[in-house]
Amino acid sequence: MIKKLLIKLFNKLKLHNKFLIMYVFCVIIPLFITDAVIVRAIYDREYNSKVYQLENIANLYISSMKNTFEYSARMARAFSGNHELYRFLDAEYETPYLYFEEYYQFINNSFFKSVMQTRTDKITIYVDNPTISYGSYFKSMQEAKSSEWYRRYEEMGSNASLLVYFDDTVDPRLEKQQKIIYVQKMNKYSSSYEKIIKIEIDNTILRNQLIDISDEFPMFVCNDDYVVFARYGEGVKSINPQKLQKDYKIGVHQEFSYLGTTLDVYLFSDNLSVYAIFLENYWIIVIMIIVTLMLPVIIMNLIEQSLASRIKKLEKAFSGKKEDKFLPIERIDGDDEISQLMLNYNNIVSINNDLINKLYKDKLKEQANALSRKNAELLALQSQINPHFLFNSLESIRMHSILKGEEQTAEMVEKLAVMTRQNVEWGNDLVTIKKEAESIEAYLYLQSYRFGDRLSFDIDVEPDCEMYLIPKLTLVTFVENACVHGIESKSSAGWIFVRVYKKENDIFMEIEDTGGGMSDEEVSDLSENINNVSIDMIKGKKHVGILNACLRIKMHTDNQVKFFIESEVGVGMSVTIRVPANKLKRQS
């Protein structure tokens, strides 16, 4: 039953896939299984050897640290059992002079000085004898009780303790912040004063001792989360052992306790010599690849070509095309099922190419129509710009001529010519901001004849912004709106300000007037229309000139422009146009 199902399945596969399955299941998979077993055995052997090596080094680290700590303990016990030292510390001195005389005699005639000079560890004895003048060797018990190490010592509740902690109260530039301290009470002999000895172990020397044992692997000695010593991790205060275990291939952890303090030793390695073993026997691997991979591939490839060359030819024909047309098979050999497939392919190619040609031509025609509609819409936008600002200007000229004669008519006409010269040339819809500013100045100059002292204006364009190109009448339209709907609606004098400047990577164009202003509802409606403006919206809308200008600059900047409108009735109105500078071309 299973055999029949497999045969049915194989009958549905191409010859190439059948050979591929045979090669995978009969060559590749058995080879991979065999190699994986060999590689795993070598890897496990090397891994266990490396773990054993790391464990031995960790034990040596522990032994070295334990010897150092025990040496400090023996030293403390020697001080604690010295009767002469007790006598010196218990004596009561009438004057500081008597104390220093006794101090120098004790130091020079006892083992104390030689021990202090030969030890790199810092040894300090704390005593509460008030007649002693405290110095580098002897200090007040009160000073000890106010320190962090003494608080930790008291918490441990033992006569002798090893303290390991990070002291962040000291200046790291002057003193090591890692602290390893052996503390023991001096109570071997009865005494009227409390005494305690503190030996601050030189952790630099201890660290060098550990590195001398082995400097090959990353090493961390920790107390809880605090890093006491580290190799390849200097400056690290804490580690995450689980994360380090993931970062390195091998890691070991040893733990030991001494006088109530537990230290954890971590060693890591990612260097396995299994790769070196493979390199040493590379010729065996080469022969294995040739025999188990290349030779079967060559033989089965020859068999496949003898049986499936026409199928590959058919497959190549299906997968390749040139100049948007599938090419028919030029030569068909034989009259079997494969040949019939080739003939059917040629029939499909013929039908497919006919359909492609028809669809391609229809698509080109549709794109051409869309492009024509787009150009027509742009031309309609240009021709639809509201010209009533020009009529207002001409009306100003007419009124001036009637009231005062013809003396200044020529000057007004000249200003009008400046305005209209660039705007009637529709070959190019773009103009520099500098030219636009000149048109604004001419327009406002003409309007000043109409409004007289009621109109004042100021135009400020940064030099860096003058040569950027914008659609014609973009700013003039807003200025015209400010003049007619702002200044004209207000009986008192007013100002119009035009500012163009660059801030960071954006061009800002501001038009501000001190005219009649707009209500919040009108501002909201205008903002809604500007943000959603389209060609159909412009027809019959109020503020058609502004909407037209907004639509054109939106189209010019790929809709990357932003408009901000602020207005208050009786105070004025401000319009800010913000455009990314990279969306505007610059005239050289």
Give the pLDDT confidence of 112-153 residue by residue, as tens digits.
766 766 666 788 999 999 998 888 788 999 999 988 899 989
Does residue 379 register a pLDDT over 50?
no
Give pLDDT, residue 393: 62
Sheet holding 562-568, edge to edge: 455-461, 494-503, 506-513, 572-580, 562-568
Does residue 23 register a pLDDT over 60?
yes
CB atoms under 10 Å from CB of 18, counted, come to: 15
Residue 408 CA to residue 397 CA, distance in Å, equals 9
DSSP 3-state of 512: strand
Long-range contacts formed by 396-402: CB under 8 A, 24+ apart: 396/446, 396/447, 396/449, 396/450, 397/446, 397/449, 399/450, 400/449, 400/450
Share of the chain above pLDDT 90, in %: 20
Across 20-24, 49-53, 432-436, which has the greatest mean pLDDT?
Answer: 432-436
Report the range of poorest mean pLDDT among 265-279, 311-325, 469-483. 311-325
Give pLDDT, residue 314: 65
DSSP 3-state of 473: coil
Q: Which amino acid makes up residue 155?
A: E
- Beta bridge mates, 199: 123, 182
Task: Name the band, by pLDDT with cuts 50, 70 and 90, for residue 380.
Answer: very low
Query: Which of the pair, 1 or 258, is modelled with greater confidence?
Result: 258
Across 109-113, 116-120, 265-269, which has the greatest mean pLDDT?
Answer: 265-269
Residue 119's φ and ψ, nearest 5 degrees, are: -90, 135
Buried b (16+ CB within 10 A) or exposed e, 128-166: bbeebeeeeebbebeebeeeebbebbeeeeeebbbbbbe
Give the strand pairing for 122-127 and 250-258.
Answer: unpaired
Residue 198 CA to residue 384 CA, distance in Å, equals 95
- Average of per-residue pLDDT values in the chain: 79
Give pLDDT, residue 134: 86
The secondary structure element, H or E, covering residue 577 is strand 572-580
Give pLDDT, residue 383: 45
- The token pair that represents 197 in the structure block: 């000895």
- In Å, how far are 385, 539, 550, 580, 583 from 558, measured between CA atoms? 20, 22, 12, 11, 8
Report the range of poorest mean pLDDT among 215-219, 347-351, 504-508. 347-351
Does residue 501 register a pLDDT over 90?
yes
Query: Which of the pair, 307 or 53, is modelled with greater confidence?
Result: 53
Give pLDDT, residue 384: 46
Query: Which of the pair, 101 or 413, is modelled with greater confidence?
Result: 101
Report the range of poorest mean pLDDT among 21-25, 49-53, 368-372, 487-491. 368-372
Give pLDDT, residue 326: 65
CB 533 within 8 A of CB 561: no
Across 228-242, 396-410, 506-520, 546-560, which has the greatest mean pLDDT?
Answer: 506-520
Residue 472 CA to residue 465 CA, distance in Å, equals 16
Does residue 423 register a pLDDT over 60?
no
CB atoms under 10 Å from CB of 307, counted, come to: 14
User: Looking at residue 433, what DSSP letter applies?
Assistant: H
